[in-house]
Each structure stands twice: as C-alpha cells, then as structure tokens.
Amino acid sequence: MFATIHTITDDVIFRKSINWKNTNIKDSINIDCEKMYNGIESNFNKLIGKGSLKHVIKKARCYIDNLLTVKEKLSVKPWHFPTNLSPVEYQSFLQDTNFYLMISGVLIKASFMFSGFLSTLKNYSVVKLLPRFSSQPRKVNEALARLRSYKWIKTISYYGNHNAFLNALDEYKELINKVPGSSMLFPVVTELYKDLNREPVTQQEEEYLTGKLMAVNKRLSACSDFKEWYKVRPIILAGLTMAGNHEFYRSAYINILNETVDVDNSEVMHEELCFVKHEYEEAKLLLKQENSFVPKSVTYFKELVYQVAKLNKKKSSRFDGYIEWTHNPKEFVKSIHAAISNGYISLKGNTDMKPILEFLSQFIKVKKQNNKGCLTRKSLITYFKRANTGDL
C-alpha cells in the first residue's frame, strides 16, 4: 500500500508543478482516497494489542514517519489553488487536493491513536501534521466545501480550528497592532511573530510554545505603557526561550534595559541579575528534560546573565562611595582635561582620555550646570571631546 501511495504522490507533485493545466481527470481517477484511508486505518488498528509495547511503538512510528514523508513532499511549497482551470482540470485538482488532505487527516488520527504509546517528545505536533495552505482562505474554504463529506475533512477542520498554538499565534498577531511603531519593543514583537510562524516539530515543543505564547499574549493585552521595563521584560525574554534568533533578543534585552532602567539604582540592577539567573536555571532544567529546542537559548541565557552581572557591577560600584563635583561641569572638564593632557593623570601608565574617564566615572559624580542630576558618562565624554577641539 505504501508503495502505491508514494507512486501517486509523485504523480500529484508533477500535476501540482504545472498548476493542473492540461490535466485530465483520468490522470487522478485511480486515487481511491476512501479505500486508502480505510486500509491505513486498518493497519493502525491491527497494531494495538498485537505484540509487545516496544513492537507497537516501533511499527507505529514507522507507519507515521512514512506517511509524514509523503505529506512533507506534497507540502514543500504550500498547497496552492490555481485559477482559470477548465471544469475537467478543476476536478483533477480536487482529486489531488483530497489525496493531500486524506494523508494529513490520517496522520492526525494516528497521532492521537498512539498518543498513549509515544511520549510528547517523540509524537509529532498537530501543526506539523495539518495541511499547509497558501494564504487564499476563500479558495481553501470553497475547495473544502466540495470535499466536506469525507471524514478526514472533519478531522482537519476540527483540529485546525481548535489548535491552541495556532489560536494563540492569531491572537498575538492582533495584539502586535497595539504596540506603537516608535516603541523600542516594536522590532522585538514583530521579529517574534516571524520566528513563531512556523511548525513546532514535536507535541512537547508545541505545548511548550503554546504556554509561553499565551503568557506573552496576556502580558501584551494588559500592557498600556510599553516603556515600563517590568512589563516589557518578559516579552523580550520570550524570544530567547521560543525563537531561533537568540542573539537578536539578547541584544534587544540589554539595549532596552539600558534605556528604561535607572542606571544609578543598584537595587534595581541586583533584582535584575537575580531575575535573569532564575530564568537561566529554568532554561537549564528544560535542557535536562531533553528538550531539543532549548540548547541554544541556554547558551544565550548564560551570556545574558554575564552581561547583566557586568552592568550590575558597574552600577553598584557607584554607590559604594563616590566624590561629587558641584561646581560648573566645564571647570571640572578643563581641570581634568589639562591634567591628562600634561601627563599628570594616567591609568596604568596610559594617558588615553576614554579609559581614564570610564574609570573616574565609577566614583566621581559631576553635577549638571542646573544642578538637576548628574552628567552621564556619555555626556561627560562629549564634554571632553569638545575640550579636545577647543569648543568648550
């Protein structure tokens, strides 16, 4: 039977490649989907209660993998709906579409039939087994309506409409619209949608991503101010735990943290370090459970912990004790600039301005001219650059 299915698959792929033009219903009339579905179902039913558990699992996996190979070959490009077909060509197209849907439907049924035998790590996700259509909902519904009498169509419709991951992804897509385009979070949420608009491989991955995505949706729906770090932070971290572009999310985390958190508050930074350490431990725990979709995120979480620890060290050191300059900041710059230029101040024998200023800024605060706060390290360096050019 499987040899016949693979032969039919090759024929269907050819007709699909030419958009069913100049095809005849005779080309696909030999596809008796009902008979094939019942035959596959019968093979699966015979497995249950026959032989050892190990035998059942091995055979079931062999059958499912074989059928999935067929489905994947048919889905290399999403199933599309051609236009301007003659009635005969359209009938040929419908027959081939029915074959594709039958394979998908029997795969979904087998997945649930053997869910008690295959662990969530080894069982495929429902999303992976569902048919992959191009984005033509009207034409999809029109074709499905013509085929609705087949039982596998009901299976596909039910699991497609009630899939928690796909529903959460649709909700997330709608929630993105409430994030202002000018917000630093906007590139993150749009990148996350692109990363998640994919097929989870295993049932376990699908359940994991669904839980994470639902939590993100809850955060987004309750968030009105996208400048509040503690509301934004979990959304960025979701990228590290769910998506593939880990470097992007790690960089975004550090950049937005620097922009939104009080850089002079050591307590805040200490809390931040505790938080990312906790998330790192959670990621390691998932890795121990053999989740193949988390190893890279563990590596990037480790780097994130290191970077936040580095920030925490810099920021907390400023509160261990510092000297405050309350006179005109320009006078401070002129005095220190002259001392460095004349070689009276150096750092490990080096008289380069920038490293000396970075070191001094850890324990010297320079009040702004209006006395409302202190100059940031960046502003201080700007002052020294102006002193270099004589524009101070």
Whose CA is closest to 376, among 228, 270, 252, 262?
262
Residue 252 CA to residue 256 CA, distance in Å, equals 6
- Sign, CA torsion 307/308/309/315: positive
Phi/psi zone of residue 51: left (φ > 0), alpha (ψ -120 to 50 degrees), beta? left
Whose CA is closest to 100, among 136, 142, 45, 144?
144
pLDDT along the chain (392 residues), means of 10: 87 91 68 89 80 78 90 91 86 91 93 75 85 77 80 89 92 90 87 86 87 89 77 82 79 85 71 84 73 66 82 56 84 90 85 84 84 83 87 78
The pair of structure tokens assigned to 331 is 């006078």
| Crossing angle of helices 229-242 and 186-196, rounded to 10° | 30
Predicted TM-score (pTM) of the model is 0.69
Instruction: Please give the pLDDT value at position 183.
Output: 84
Q: Provide DSSP, 140-163.
A: HHHHHHHTTTSHHHHHHHHHHHT-
| Crossing angle of helices 229-242 and 246-260, rounded to 10° | 170
Instruction: Please give the pLDDT value at position 55.
Output: 78
Instruction: Please give the pLDDT value at position 27.
Output: 58
Instruction: Please give the pLDDT value at position 129.
Output: 93
Instruction: Please give the pLDDT value at position 29.
Output: 57
Residue 300 CA to residue 236 CA, distance in Å, equals 13
What letters, b where the CB count within 10 A reaches 16 and e where it falls short, cover 130-157?
bbbbeeeeeebeebbeebeebebbebbe
